[in-house]
Structure 1
Amino acid sequence: MRRAALAFTFLLLAATARAQETTPANPPAPAAVPIIRTTLDPKEGAVVGQHIALYVDVMFPGDMPRPPRVAIPDMPGAQVMRFETQATTMRETIDGADYVGQRFEFAVFPRRSGPLAIPPAAVTLLDRDGDVTGTQTGQSVQETIVAPEGIDAKDVVVATDTLTLEQSWKPEPGTALHVGDALVRTITRTATDVPALAMRDLAFPAPDGVRVYVDAPASQDQSNRGTITGKRIDRVTYVFEKAGTFDLPAVDQPWWNLADKQAETATGKGATATVKAGPAPTTMPGTPAASTPVRPLIWATIAALAILVVLALATVWKWRAQAPHRRAEQALSEPAAFHALTHAGDSGDAAAIYKALATWRARLPACWPAPPDASALEMALFAGGPAWTKAMAKTYLMSLRQYRAAALARPRDSAPAPLPPLNPLGKPSNEFAPS
């Protein structure tokens, strides 16, 4: 009996020693659960198109292993953008305990009036090595959006404290123009607290006899201490196909003045261009008279050769002089725009596809029928529809290729079909990556 007790005691001590060997002396502490706060500025009274600052604070008790990743899910009726790539580090005392964390800022631009529900922020927690340790969600917030008086809220509304519109022409419209010449019109819009992607597309109608080529808009946004100054540059080329006097319409940018609480309009004045027929062909010198009656055939041959040389030189000079114009027309042609559209379609990026699609639509010949509907793309970008995927981009691009092949095969005298209106640009990714 005594031997059995000793054997049992020995086995118990051996098991305890093995357990101590396999159990770490300092087991890792569970990851701290952060406090997530979501706030809006302004909290109420925002109008359609106004920049609403959405702040997401992620606070860790004691220590923050690594800045988390924060994303705002898509929401119907609004665009969500990110201005800063770096978040702001914060330190606070909450209920007597020290907390450290970061504030992430998003920009929300409501596109319709009524209640706007902003979904909870999705927070991905990381350890010191950058590996995912868990996920948390913030709180949903809501604000009521008001339609500004005097502005059509069905279009893209720009609401800001300051907006300017500057315009330039090259050459000036009063310059002597001939058939085949072109005018380049550049419009630059600058707005405070509104990025270029949130500005509306401009319409450039033109009278019969004027071909319009619209470039893809250029964005030159600048950030200064968290304040965005959006700058969008639109460039359009008018090519005159016949002689006459042409009135090029003004361009208007309606906007809501947040400071004065009233609707205003920034205008780029129209212009009148007078186009003359092409210059008359150069009159070549006549055949010189023979100096002696015995050699008329020789002098006639010399004169003919001189005329041929002059004509050849004039042709070469004209071809070289028109080379920049030919290159410009090629760059502004429908095939070049469609090539850019196919390149954007291969990437699958909805915003890039929409930009390229708008440019290509503007360059379609008037005799072509209306292109395939882009409602799925527009819903994905601006109305909270299903997310745009590469498969959807591939399918839509295939339909555009089929449409273009059929349009190219149509007779040239087919009846023209109006193009559908263009909508604003898409939106970028809404996720912060840690530094």
Structure 2
Amino acid sequence: MTSKEPQRFPDQIPSLMGSLVSLLLFLFVPTIGLAAEPGATLVIPKKEAWTGQRVPIFIELRAEGSFKSSASFDIPEIPQTVVIKVGNPVLSSETDGGNEVFVQSHEFALFSQASGNIEFPPITARFSHTKGYTGPVFDASYQTESVTLTLKRPPNSESLGFLVTTDSLTIEETWDPKPGPLETGAVLKRTIVQRASQQTGIALKPAPTPEIEGIRTYPATPKVSDKTERGTFLGERRETITYLVQQPGLHTLPEIRFDWWNPSTETLESKTLPAITFTATAPPTPPAKPSPLRYLWLVPVVIVLGLAAFYRRSIASGLHELHDRIDPPQRRAARQFVKACRSNDPAASIAAWNHFRQFDSEIISSVALKEELGRLNSMIYGIPKNQQEWTGEALARAFRQSQHHPAQADHVSQLPELNP
């Protein structure tokens, strides 16, 4: 009979303890290795996307305390790619063995026209933080690791070139004025507005502006804007194109087609703005401009007037002398005397007679003229014998006869007495 050897459990305790320690190390060491540490991490949730599609990316900053001021990032340039900042950072915290780590997450949107694998280079992040909730502020600078993103080009889209990828794209156009019969030189303004969901205005396709015979095209600088509401990203691109009609005739503005890839339905969609046809008439012929030669006749006039103004005194003297030759002063004085006599005005007659004597000191006088002059003097300087009014018709007739028939008149060298 063989006896059994007694069991010795205490001898196995060391091996059991070693297995337990190994198990604990296996469970807790990976956790400690994956614990959050201060730094910067680039996170791209989607490793694959369509060309032209919005790809959200995040940069997570970790620090031992509260973040101070705003973080800055050195985004490297990637060919055919645009990266824009979206919204405000989101704050959170993580706990590592009783130590709290503060996390600040920044969202960006990536739009790329590339296809295939794209390596996102490291990004340098700079920020300031405290250790804990309060205390001195420390500046930190970290670099993310590079990440590879795969972009797929939709099938049958190679001929489109620039590709917009969106679930919804609306296109509107307005004209000022509306196209119709125009005159050469008229101006048309066309405004095209594109709005796309999950897109930025920068990544929307520009409207083409081909050369059109007889029409000059002037595209203005486009206006782009983005709106973010409750997680919905809406991009807008507004373009204004000015057309100047330079030639008369029939003109056609070609249609404009916009194509995009719908990632939800995975189909190519398009919208076409129809072609515009209108006629332009020649402008009316402007009236002929009057020739400046028609004013040449003014040149001699101006010259004559200038000379007349310069020599006005000499001209006035010459004209006066010519007038005296044509109509001598003696003859004018004789007419004035006759006119005064016929007006039966004794005072005017005496004044005219005295003026006449200045030109003819040796007066040829007749008997009748002497008698009539005596009556005139008596009327002015003496007491008339009768109260009848004086009439000068006889004096005027006697004076005319002495002028026309000097042979019948007596020559006197002295004037008649004023008071006989």
- After TM superposition, the score normalised by the length of structure 1 is 0.53
Amino acid at match of 1:52: V
CA distance in 2, matches of 1:188, 1:123: 37
Matching residue of 1:122: 124
CA distance in 2, matches of 1:65, 1:149: 48
Unaligned runs of 5+ in 2: 1-35, 289-420
* Residues paired across the two proteins, number: 250
* SS of residue matched to 1:169: strand
* SS of residue matched to 2:50: coil
Unaligned runs of 5+ in 1: 1-31, 284-435
**1:3-402 alignment runs, 5 A limit:** 34-41=38-45, 43-65=46-68, 68-84=71-87, 86-94=88-96, 97-127=99-129, 133-152=139-158, 155-173=161-179, 175-279=180-284
Task: Give, in angstroms, the shift of residue 225 of structure 1.
Answer: 3.2
CA distance in 2, matches of 1:108, 1:179: 47
Amino acid at match of 1:108: L
Task: Give, in angstroms, the shift of residue 145 of structure 1.
Answer: 0.9
* SS of residue matched to 1:279: coil
- After TM superposition, the score normalised by the length of structure 2 is 0.54
What do the CA deviations read for 1:131-158 (whole angstroms, capped 9, x no partner)?
7633111222112111112323773221
Task: Give, in angstroms, the shift of residue 61 of structure 1.
Answer: 3.5
* SS of residue matched to 2:202: helix
Amino acid at match of 1:213: Y
Would the aligned equivalents of 2:75 and 2:123 in 1 still touch at CA under 8 Å?
yes
Task: Give, in angstroms, the shift of residue 101 of structure 1.
Answer: 2.2
The change in CA–CA distance for 1:63 and 1:182 in structure 2 (over 3 A counts) is closer
CA distance in 1, matches of 2:243, 2:251: 11
* SS of residue matched to 1:68: strand
The structure with more strand, counted as a fraction of residues: 2
The change in CA–CA distance for 1:94 and 1:147 in structure 2 (over 3 A counts) is farther
CA distance in 1, matches of 2:69, 2:243: 55
Task: Give, in angstroms, the shift of residue 226 of structure 1.
Answer: 4.3
CA distance in 1, matches of 2:277, 2:116: 43
Matching residue of 1:8: none
Amino acid at match of 1:162: S
What do the CA deviations read for 1:272-304 (whole angstroms, capped 9, x no partner)?
111112236689xxxxxxxxxxxxxxxxxxxxx
* Percentage identity across paired residues of the two chains: 28
CA distance in 1, matches of 2:66, 2:86: 26
Higher relative contact order (CA 8 A, sep 6+): 1
What do the CA deviations read for 1:9-31 (whole angstroms, capped 9, x no partner)?
xxxxxxxxxxxxxxxxxxxxxxx
Larger Rg: 2
The change in CA–CA distance for 1:103 and 1:231 in structure 2 (over 3 A counts) is same
CA distance in 1, matches of 2:51, 2:266: 13
